């Protein structure tokens, strides 16, 4: 079919797309792990937006979570029924966002979105608001032109992606909503040129290190045991060990090595003149698939035991999240082939395939034997201060999703 009319219709929707993105970004859908109330308010607004746009075939699935005020984490699925019931085309985006340190933002406050120089600034614009809006208005354009998709398109908006997806996509997969014949697109990563399709991810390991010594006055440190010093020394030694031992390179991946990053640091003492009796640090590790996470965990345990004997401190580790990388999607599979064709048709780009370190919902589909790929056109600004989305990327990606829907 000729696509120019469809592309023109999407271009007309540009102002509405920007407005919708800004409305959604104003709601800080932060998970309870980071002190937030979850996604319910954002999901309620999204459902209202979808209904105002004429989406009336909407299902809502809730996962119980007593850590949030509502006691539930919402997941929405909006359908646009096609000529055939199966297989479906799924476009999966997530509602939740990470926190933001407001004092590091210079363009705007994190949840006060601002349009400037063709970019919408705000927390969650890139991760994952841009793609959420692109998927919605791709279908909206098809509806306005009365174009029926080849297969039913299901837009899934899920909770809890930033912290393991137990209340989000994992919960939906357990409900047997998906078929191994379905086509699944997760637009939650990509490159600025829009020509990269992710078919594999690294293994993920997040863990917490708690070092316990003895608190005392800083003027008489000999009467205590500085947990902060021991914790720093242990973290640096562990960082060095893991990078040296697991040092293989794989050019298939964007960032071709395993990464072991000390990230979050919990507050220890209230005053400068107190030697801390406890120190807490967290690591985020993205490990190439050829390595076994169990071996990494064994090395962490052995290093902790050695430091305990040397320092006299107690060092314990707690796993926050772990997932061994599932098998990659075949680069010749139907979902990859059709997405390549849609990108070429809508954007004139010849897409390549590869892997990433970031964890997305696609990994859980792959683990369940459902081919899922990750694609979008994004700048590498997720989780950063002054996060933004380029409006042109949002519009162009909507064109790809619309083309894919009718192929």
Co-location of 22 and 117 in the same domain: yes
The Cα 159–Cα 109 span in angstroms is 23
CATH number of the domain enclosing 261? 3.30.70.360
Q: Choose one of 323, 357, 383: the last residue of a domain.
A: 323
- Mean pLDDT for 69-89 is 92
Per-residue confidence (pLDDT) for residue 280, from 0 to 100: 98
Co-location of 27 and 143 in the same domain: yes
pLDDT band at residue 1 under the 50/70/90 scheme: low
Per-residue confidence (pLDDT) for residue 63, from 0 to 100: 96
Is it the case that residue 85 has pLDDT exceeding 80? no
Is it the case that residue 276 has pLDDT exceeding 70? yes
Q: Choose one of 323, 343, 360: the last residue of a domain.
A: 323
- Mean pLDDT for 46-54 is 97
Co-location of 13 and 134 in the same domain: yes
Q: Could you give the residue numbers annotated as active site?
A: 96, 161
- DSSP label at 267? -
Is it the case that residue 2 has pLDDT exceeding 80? no
The Cα 55–Cα 81 span in angstroms is 11
- Residue-number span of the structural domain to which 128 is assigned: 4-201+325-406
- Mean pLDDT for 222-237 is 97
The Cα 174–Cα 155 span in angstroms is 18
Co-location of 185 and 295 in the same domain: no
The Cα 248–Cα 50 span in angstroms is 46
Co-location of 295 and 359 in the same domain: no
Q: Dihedral through CA 132, CA 134, CA 137, CA 141, nearest 10?
A: -150
Is it the case that residue 281 has pLDDT exceeding 80? yes
Is it the case that residue 198 has pLDDT exceeding 90? yes
The Cα 383–Cα 129 span in angstroms is 13
Co-location of 238 and 175 in the same domain: no
* Residue of 201, 239, 241, 210 whose CA lies nearest to 323: 201
Per cent of the chain over pLDDT 90 is 96
Co-location of 207 and 319 in the same domain: yes
Per-residue pLDDT reduced to its tens digit, 123-178? 999 999 999 999 999 999 999 999 999 899 999 999 999 998 999 999 999 999 99
Per-residue pLDDT reduced to its tens digit, 319-344? 999 999 999 999 999 999 999 999 99
Co-location of 313 and 357 in the same domain: no
Mean pLDDT of the chain: 96
Co-location of 270 and 238 in the same domain: yes
**Vertex 124, ends 123 and 127: CA angle to 5°?**
135
Per-residue confidence (pLDDT) for residue 117, from 0 to 100: 97
- Our measurement of the distance from residue 202's CA atom to the centroid of its chain's CA atoms, rounded to an integer in Å, reads 13
Co-location of 215 and 267 in the same domain: yes
Asked, as a colleague might, if the bond just before 87 is cis with ω within 30 of 0, I would say yes
Contact indicator for 266, 274 with CB cutoff of 8 Å: no
Q: Choose one of 323, 351, 369: the last residue of a domain.
A: 323
Is it the case that residue 356 has pLDDT exceeding 80? yes
* Residue of 77, 16, 89 whose CA lies nearest to 43: 77
Contact indicator for 207, 248 with CB cutoff of 8 Å: no
Co-location of 256 and 282 in the same domain: yes
Is it the case that residue 291 has pLDDT exceeding 70? yes
216: part of which helix (H) or strand (E)?
strand 216-217
Per-residue confidence (pLDDT) for residue 89, from 0 to 100: 96
Co-location of 251 and 180 in the same domain: no
Is it the case that residue 84 has pLDDT exceeding 90? no
Please give the biggest Cα pair distance in the chain: 80
Count up the domains in the chain and report the number. 2
Is it the case that residue 107 has pLDDT exceeding 70? yes
CATH number of the domain enclosing 105? 3.40.630.10
pTM: 0.88
Contact indicator for 371, 329 with CB cutoff of 8 Å: yes
């Amino acid at each position: 079919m000729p696509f120019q009319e469809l592309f023109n219709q999407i271009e007309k929707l540009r102002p509405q797309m920007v407005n919708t993105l800004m409305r959604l970004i104003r709601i800080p859908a932060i998970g309870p792990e980071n002190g937030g109330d979850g996604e319910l308010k954002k999901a309620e607004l999204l459902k209202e937006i979808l209904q105002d746009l004429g989406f009336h075939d909407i299902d809502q699935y809730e996962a119980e979570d007593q850590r949030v005020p509502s006691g539930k984490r919402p997941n929405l699925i909006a359908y646009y029924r096609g000529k055939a019931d199966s297989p479906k085309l799924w476009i999966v985006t997530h509602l939740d966002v990470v926190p933001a340190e407001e004092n590091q933002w210079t363009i705007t406050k994190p949840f006060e979105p601002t349009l400037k120089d063709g970019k919408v600034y705000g927390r969650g614009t890139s991760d994952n608001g841009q793609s959420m809006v692109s998927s919605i208005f791709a279908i909206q354009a098809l509806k306005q032109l009365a174009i029926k998709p080849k297969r039913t398109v299901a837009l899934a908006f899920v909770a809890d992606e930033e912290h393991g997806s137990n209340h989000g996509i994992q919960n939906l997969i357990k409900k047997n909503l998906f078929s191994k014949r379905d086509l699944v697109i997760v637009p939650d990563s990509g490159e600025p040129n829009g020509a990269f399709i992710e078919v594999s991810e690294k293994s993920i390991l997040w863990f917490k290190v708690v070092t316990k010594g003895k608190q005392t006055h800083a003027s008489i440190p000999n009467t205590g045991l500085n947990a902060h010093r021991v914790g720093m020394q242990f973290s640096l030694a562990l960082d060095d060990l893991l990078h040296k031992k697991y040092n293989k390179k794989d050019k298939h991946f964007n960032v071709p090595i395993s990464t072991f990053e000390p990230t979050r640091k919990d507050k220890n003492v209230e005053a400068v003149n107190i030697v801390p009796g406890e120190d807490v640090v967290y690591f985020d590790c993205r490990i190439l698939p050829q390595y076994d996470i169990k071996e990494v965990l064994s090395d962490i345990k052995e290093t902790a035991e050695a430091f305990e004997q040397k320092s006299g401190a107690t060092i314990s580790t707690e796993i926050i999240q772990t997932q061994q990388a599932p098998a990659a999607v075949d680069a010749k599979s139907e979902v990859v082939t059709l997405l390549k064709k849609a990108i070429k048709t809508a954007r004139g780009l010849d897409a390549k395939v590869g892997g990433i370190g970031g964890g997305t919902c696609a990994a859980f589909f792959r683990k369940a034997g459902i081919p899922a790929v990750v694609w979008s056109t994004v700048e590498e600004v997720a989780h950063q201060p002054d996060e933004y989305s380029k409006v042109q990327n949002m519009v162009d990606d909507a064109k790809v999703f619309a083309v894919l829907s009718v192929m």
